[in-house]
């Protein structure tokens, strides 16, 4: 059972990452550059072939210019099959 839950989380993460990237009108290469990751790694994440570390989640959030909590909200919405968070949440991050 733990494997199925894990697979569902990986799929939810992959869908959330791809959706946010596309809503931000970024290519995988642009996201990779902004997140300081390799483009093929982004493709593996979006394809559900790799699982991100906490460090990677923060790098991706930086590359997407959103708070990590927004990425997590999208993941939760796909995992629990709830409506997506509003697009307004994808506004540029105000960093202090």
Interval 79-93 mean pLDDT:
71
Q: 1: pLDDT confidence band, cut at 50, 70 and 90?
A: very low
pLDDT in tens, 47-84: 999 999 999 999 999 999 999 999 999 999 999 988 77
Tokens of 23: 């809503």
pLDDT in tens, 4-53: 558 899 999 999 999 999 999 999 999 999 999 999 999 999 999 999 99
Q: Domain spans of the chain?
A: 2-84
Count Cβ atoms below 10 Å from residue 26 Cβ, excluding itself: 19
Query: CA–CA separation, 31 vs 27, rounded Å?
Result: 6
pTM of full prediction above 0.95: no
Length of the chain: 96
In CATH, the architecture of 2-84 is Orthogonal Bundle (1.10)
Residues 6+ apart with CB under 8 A from 7: 48
């Amino acid at each position: 059972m733990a494997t199925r839950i894990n697979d569902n989380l990986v799929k939810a993460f992959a869908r959330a990452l791809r959706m946010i990237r596309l809503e931000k009108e970024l290519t995988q290469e642009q996201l990779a550059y902004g997140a300081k990751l390799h483009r093929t790694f982004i493709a593996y994440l979006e394809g559900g072939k790799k699982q991100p570390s906490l460090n990677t989640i923060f790098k991706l959030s930086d590359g997407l210019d959103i708070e990590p909590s927004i990425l997590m909200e999208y993941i939760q919405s796909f995992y629990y099959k709830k409506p997506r968070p509003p697009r307004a949440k994808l506004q540029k991050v105000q960093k202090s």
